[in-house]
């Protein structure tokens, strides 16, 4: 499974219009593309930053979809009034414990490590991190997306609501620090979002 994420640093006052555009225009338009699996959107209503992610069956479907989504991405940046950063990933880990509902929140951690150590890192994440993350208050799901050539990863942990995410923060930080230290990973970003579109639909890998 593969994914394309578009991070837009938009303006907060245009965020709801951007969310509506993704739900009402983008998702119906791309749902018929070959190899399309699903879409998610994360939004920070305070800063205006959002991440729109689409999932695809394989690398070929990801590649072939690029021309078809280019215009919609341009329109989204126009609506949100901010620049876009595009990244492509392999979806390496997906684990769900319970479905998400209204009010779900996601904390995204970005890391960078030795590209040659990606397989070792993924094994350590599955065996050592997942059982601990699953015990965090209000845990719903976790995904890990990797860019093997660069050694970059994005880990997204979703909670039932903001209160649960806040309660889990201290323990989650300890888990994160222990894992990144053991795997010699640099943390390049950490950000909390509302989960405003939850239809990524990548299959469970654990």
Does the pLDDT at position 13 exceed 80?
A: yes
Report if residue 124 sits inside a domain.
yes
Mean pLDDT value across residues 99-114: 95
Per-residue confidence (pLDDT) for residue 10, from 0 to 100: 96
Report if residue 145 sits inside a domain.
yes
Residues found in the chain? 206
How many domains does the structure of the chain reveal?
Answer: 1
Mean pLDDT value across residues 6-18: 97
Does the pLDDT at position 147 exceed 90?
A: yes
Q: CA 106, CA 196: separation in Å to the nearest integer?
A: 10
Which structural domain range is residue 26 located in?
Answer: 2-199
Tens of pLDDT, residue by residue over 66-97, are 999 999 999 999 999 999 999 999 999 999 99
**What is the rounded average pLDDT for all residues in the chain?**
95
Mean pLDDT value across residues 49-66: 97
Please tell me the pTM assigned to this model: 0.95
Share of the chain above pLDDT 90, in %: 94
Per-residue confidence (pLDDT) for residue 177, from 0 to 100: 95
Per-residue confidence (pLDDT) for residue 206, from 0 to 100: 75
CATH code for the domain of 125: 3.30.70.100
Report if residue 62 sits inside a domain.
yes
Mean pLDDT value across residues 181-193: 96
pLDDT class for 145, splitting at 50, 70, 90?
Answer: very high
Report if residue 45 sits inside a domain.
yes
Report if residue 53 sits inside a domain.
yes
Per-residue confidence (pLDDT) for residue 201, from 0 to 100: 86
Mean pLDDT value across residues 184-188: 96
Report if residue 75 sits inside a domain.
yes
Report if residue 204 sits inside a domain.
no
Report if residue 206 sits inside a domain.
no
Per-residue confidence (pLDDT) for residue 49, from 0 to 100: 97
Angle at 12 between CA 62 and CA 54, to 5 degrees: 10
The answer to whether 86 touches 73, Cβ cutoff 8 Å, is: yes
With b for 16 or more beta-carbon neighbours within 10 A and e for fewer, the 75-103 pattern comes to: ebbebbbbebeebebbbbbbbbeeebeee
Does the pLDDT at position 119 exceed 90?
A: yes
Per-residue confidence (pLDDT) for residue 203, from 0 to 100: 83
Mean pLDDT value across residues 107-116: 95
């Amino acid at each position: 499974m593969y994914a394309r994420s578009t991070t837009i640093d938009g303006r907060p006052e245009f965020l709801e219009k951007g969310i509506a555009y993704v739900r009402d225009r983008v998702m119906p338009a791309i749902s018929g593309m070959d190899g399309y699996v699903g879409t998610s959107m994360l939004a920070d209503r305070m800063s205006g930053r959002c991440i729109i992610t689409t999932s695809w069956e394989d690398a070929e479907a990801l590649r072939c979809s690029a021309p078809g989504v280019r215009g919609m991405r341009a329109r989204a940046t126009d609506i949100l009034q901010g620049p876009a950063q595009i990244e492509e990933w392999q979806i390496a880990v997906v684990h769900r414990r319970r479905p998400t509902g209204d009010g779900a929140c996601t904390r995204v951690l970005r890391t960078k490590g030795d590209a040659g150590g990606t397989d070792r890192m993924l094994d350590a994440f599955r065996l050592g991190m997942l059982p601990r993350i699953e015990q965090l208050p209000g845990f719903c799901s976790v995904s890990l997306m990797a860019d093997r050539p660069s050694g970059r990863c994005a880990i997204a942990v979703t909670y039932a609501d903001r209160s649960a995410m806040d309660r889990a923060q201290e323990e989650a930080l300890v888990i994160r620090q222990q894992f990144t230290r053991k795997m010699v990973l640099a943390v390049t970003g950490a950000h909390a979002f509302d989960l405003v579109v939850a239809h990524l639909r990548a299959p469970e890998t654990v």
